[in-house]
């Protein structure tokens, strides 16, 4: 038995975190989503690249300043962090790196971090030409994506889940004396 793999989505408000999760889980893009309050939880089973099935626990957090103090709570025992920024916002990638600092400070040291530049569909052909195609940003895997068109959404989750090693579940050890006392 293996532990579920806990993934947290963080990033500035309106970067598209909820839209990415909705696209991944339900394969729909809903342009009329309500903004997230606190965090939303979803669970899904998926087949990793090695053919084994993992259960993913996805925590979609709220980026607004007023909920920011809650975010470290969601980092606890997280195995992966998806940091989302909006490619159409100036300095989006720089802001994503502020979230990287946050994750490194509060999450387990072993956490796998991915940076996602969402809303790629909003870039004009001219803008696409001047946007550098980076695969890594300061050593962190970086993807351009679009929750609207679905670009890279499945790849992100598949790559991340396959990057996270499986951890056996710890079975609680029942002391022998306790076991005998139950029989009498
Ligand atoms: P958040 O969860 O990070 O706060 P949301 O962000 O998923 O709520 O999305 C914020 C806004 O961005 C929404 O629009 C949503 O439709 C839009 N959006 C999310 N992903 C994409 C994308 O890939 N492309 C485009 N074009 N828009 C996207 P509103 O208008 O409701 O604010
Ligand atoms: Mg949201």
Task: Report the SS3 class of residue 115.
Answer: strand
Structure-block tokens of residue 115: 């940076």
User: Is residue 175 very low, low, confident or very high in pLDDT (cuts 50, 70, 90)?
Assistant: low
3-state secondary structure 146-167: CCCCCCCHHHHHHHHHHHCCCC
Mutate to test the pocket of ligand 1, among 19, 27, 119, 145 (most ligand atoms within 8 A of CB): 19
* pLDDT value of position 177: 57
The answer, yes or no, to whether any atom of ligand 1 lies below 6 A from the CB of 61, is no
Q: What backbone phi and psi angles, to 5 degrees, belong to 67?
A: -100, 0
Three-state DSSP class for residue 108: coil
Q: Rounded distance, CA 130 to CA 110, Å?
A: 34
| 19-28, 32-41, 80-89: range with lowest mean pLDDT | 32-41
Q: What is the pLDDT of residue 169?
A: 87
The pLDDT assigned to 63 comes to 67
Determine the 3-state secondary structure of 95 from DSSP.
Answer: helix
Q: Which secondary-structure segment (H or E) carries 40?
A: strand 39-47
Closest residue by Cα to atom 11, ligand 1, is: 14
**Residues 156-171 pLDDT 10s:** 999 999 999 998 987 6
Q: How far is the CA of 174 from the centre of ligand 1 (A)?
A: 49
For residue 56, pLDDT over 80 is answered with yes
Shortest-distance atom of ligand 1 to CA 31: 16
Ligand nearest to the CA of 36: 2
Neighbours of 53 (CB within 10 A): 9
Reported as a single tens digit per residue, the pLDDT across 125-147 is 999 988 889 999 999 999 999 99
- Spatial distance between the Cα atoms of 121 and 108, rounded to a whole number of angstroms: 33
Q: Which two tokens stand for residue 145?
A: 């994506």
């Amino acid at each position: 038995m293996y532990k579920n793999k806990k993934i947290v989505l963080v990033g500035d408000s309106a970067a598209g975190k909820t839209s990415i999760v909705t696209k991944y889980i339900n394969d729909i893009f809903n342009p009329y989503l309500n903004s997230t309050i606190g965090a939303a939880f979803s669970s899904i089973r998926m087949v990793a690249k090695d053919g084994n099935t993992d259960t993913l626990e996805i925590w979609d957090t709220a980026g607004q300043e007023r909920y920011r103090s809650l975010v470290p709570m969601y980092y606890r025992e997280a195995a992966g962090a998806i940091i989302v920024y909006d490619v159409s916002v100036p300095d989006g990638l720089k802001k994503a790196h502020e979230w990287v600092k946050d994750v490194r400070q509060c999450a387990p040291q072993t956490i796998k971090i991915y940076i996602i530049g969402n809303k790629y569909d909003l870039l004009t052909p001219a803008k696409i030409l001047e946007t550098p195609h980076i695969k890594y940003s300061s050593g962190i895997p970086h993807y351009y994506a679009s929750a609207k068109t679905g670009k890279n959404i499945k790849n992100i989750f598949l790559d991340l889940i396959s990057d996270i090693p499986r951890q056996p579940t710890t079975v609680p050890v029942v002391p022998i004396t306790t076991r005998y006392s139950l029989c009498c």
